[in-house]
A and B are shown apart, each in its own frame.
Chain A
């Protein structure tokens, strides 16, 4: 139970050393006393005056007599406060970049699937895998089965890992995402991970086109071949397979009201408990058709935590010199992302063997490779502002730390 050697086994497969049905008796007893389950109502039940009706199904507390629950309000007039200023037209244009699913707000520009392929190989594949297939611990962008059932639901999204070995539902752009505009704006704003906002609109359209194509998406019935060129107008036409897979409906004038109605019926929609006090039977279990409760223990404990568990109160270990060298600092800033493990094909710092074969080439060659780039290694690790001498000191640090 406390073995650490299974730490690489992922969540989900850990069911069940079931034991002792200490509960069987009580849980299968006939329907329980229900001493104080309250009916849903708009009545206040708590210590503060308020009423239900918040959009999330919760309480709206009044602001009255200068009080808001236990807080004294600060309700002084702010008339004429006049701080700040109106943004200029250019400032607004610089920041007002969001886009809606109908295409409102998308910028001009275009890019082809083929251009996207090249950009993806150079900027994204090291993390998201070839063709968006994942595999490096980073999110998978393409793949998964998009087949639908008779109700139009992507079948694999119904997968439930109730037993070991069952397939997880796969959440990729093709199987799960509802809107394609999200893909464009997210890549533009947040990717590539270490250098967000470094690509042009044309490049972002190309990358979006490539990822949509890898997911087999058709636009207006047209297959996205290598030559397919994506732009704002076409992106707004994309209907992703799981477009209808989300509820409540938030679109249009009734959007907020739909949300409110949904959360008003929490017992039905998100699951709620019952306040039984004695001889309680688990109603959820009854609904599941189960006769007995199981006590499920941890199968594979996730104990690989950083820093390691400890509740000891003692003096910390003699602190070594914690001031880190300039080289190490630069390494942390510009290189560690890729070089802390071999996940992306980089020689991991500390891996004696990997660095043994690197240094066989001779230091000068290795330094040249670090400055000019090689394979998945961008020139100077992607940080142009480093001087050659700085790169040299970092490479020395990396080699020293891997002996």
Chain B
């Protein structure tokens, strides 16, 4: 754009036509991934050979509608909304994302291909419910903490919020993230391959702070966490985790939790599967023996090829995914020699990301790439690599390493230990196949 020479001004409509035909040739194989006119406008101009006629960009040459009219009143939307143009940036679901015959016990996926940085906007946070989204009246909300404590307690929401609060940036991931792909790739989309996760700043109180006051009995080994929704979601949590970094949270990215995330209060176990972070939290009970709730027996246990199942599988292990390019954001508008940023997300429930490597040849050779921005424990971490596009087919992979000495496994490494029927806790390396046209497909390298 910077080298634009103004040689001839073409009337608006002609320019539009030029752009449209350019768009037609750069359209990806699926019309729903159509580029917008303004994006291809840039491409249209920049691929013209020197000396050729440059079309002047109507968006520069003419006044815009928004520059020549009065905008909305400043508080037109008392609760702000995204630009209308962003209406396709939404959570998505599919019948396969339901544990049942309807969408009340189901999952919706975050549009990872549209997210920047490490914070997920609240309206785009992935959602998993087991009996629909409950709408709790905050005035009627009560939290009970009892069992093996010296002093049991009931708190209203306002009383809970009087405890000294802390805020932490933490990812939340459903342990079935990627579960559709144990036996092979299924979805040609980043949103469905890895969208059962999000990352937010959560605010609440450490449970230990409350326990200091209540007095935890020394024989307490486990804590039952119970939700107040129709599914009365309950899970057993080891006391060790409770005393380390467990929180009771009421805020998400600066505002109250969204109903889908457990308004008004949920449990937050940093790094651990989101199902354990019980929403619409109602009761914490300390005891000596585990409870064997439905969601830690029938579900959320990992059936291995031995026929036996791993139970109490807590942390989401070290993991990573390339978010750009991806099937939704292909490289179809690049030409050979263009510099382009390969970007991605890495995360680990065991600690902090220390390294990310990427491979262009399906895992044969790797190079370490840069981390960027905040690098925090149990939070999304961005990585980046500036790549000179060669127009050649690639098998793009990323592999993360964390400070608990975890290295992300290959599909085969994970399959060897777990088999393909585990459903949960799949963290194998993902592969995007970039073809000669720059289209991106979800594939797997396996034996």
Contacts and interface: CB of A to CB of B under 8 A. Distances in A.
A59 interface: yes
Given A302-B96, A313-B36, A284 B307 contact: no
A374 interface: no
Interface string B76-102: 000000001111101011111011111
A288 interface: yes
Given A136-B101, A293-B446, A294-B446, A312 B88 contact: yes
Contacts of A122: none
Contacts of A340: 102
Contact of B153 (A85, A158, A256): A85
A325 interface: no
Nearest to B96: A302
A198 B200 CA distance: 36
Q: Which of B188, B224, B282, B307 has the most CB of A within 10 A?
A: B307
A92 B152 CA distance: 9
B405 interface: yes
A278 B414 contact: no
A10 B180 CA distance: 10
Given A275-B357, A307-B92, A245 B307 contact: yes
A58 B404 CA distance: 6
B30 to A, nearest CB: 7
B92 A309 contact: yes
A56 interface: yes
Nearest to B97: A305
B325 interface: no
Given A272-B409, A307-B92, A311-B33, A246 B241 contact: no
Interface in A179-223: 179, 181-182, 185-186, 189-190, 193, 196-197
Contact of A56 (B92, B165, B349): B349
- Grouping DSSP codes into helix (H, G, I), strand (E, B) and loop, the A interface class, with mixed when no group exceeds half, is loop
Nearest to B317: A270
A139 B421 CA distance: 17
A302 B94 contact: yes
Interface stretch (A96-104, A108-116, A227-235, A394-402): A96-104
Contacts of B279: none
Given A87-B154, A158-B307, A50 B183 contact: no
Contacts of A337: 102, 104
A40 B350 CA distance: 14
Nearest to A100: B289
Contacts of A247: 308-311
Interface string A318-361: 00000000000000000001001101100000000000000000
Contacts of A57: 315, 350, 404
B46 interface: no
Contacts of B419: 160
A402 B387 CA distance: 55
Q: How large is the interface on B (under 10, 10 to 19, 20 to 34, 35 or more residues)?
A: 35 or more
B187 interface: yes
B264 interface: no
B442 A302 contact: no
Nearest to A153: B307
A256 B100 contact: no
A288 B447 CA distance: 8
Interface stretch (B7-15, B251-259, B394-402): B394-402
Contacts of A277: 357, 365-368
Contact of B410 (A78, A99, A273): A273
Interface stretch (A170-178, A362-370, A383-391): A170-178
A162 interface: yes
A309 B328 contact: yes
Interface stretch (B56-64, B117-125, B339-347, B373-381): B373-381
B20 interface: no
Contacts of B159: 83-84
Interface in A297-316: 297-316
A305 B410 CA distance: 28
Interface string A30-72: 0000000111110011111010101111111100000001110
Contact of A255 (B36, B221, B402, B433): B221
Given A98-B226, A186-B294, 4 more contacts: A2-B188, A96-B146, A176-B303, A193-B131
The 9 closest A-B pairs by CB, nearest first: A46-B403, A284-B412, A137-B101, A58-B350, A290-B447, A284-B413, A26-B364, A271-B417, A189-B232
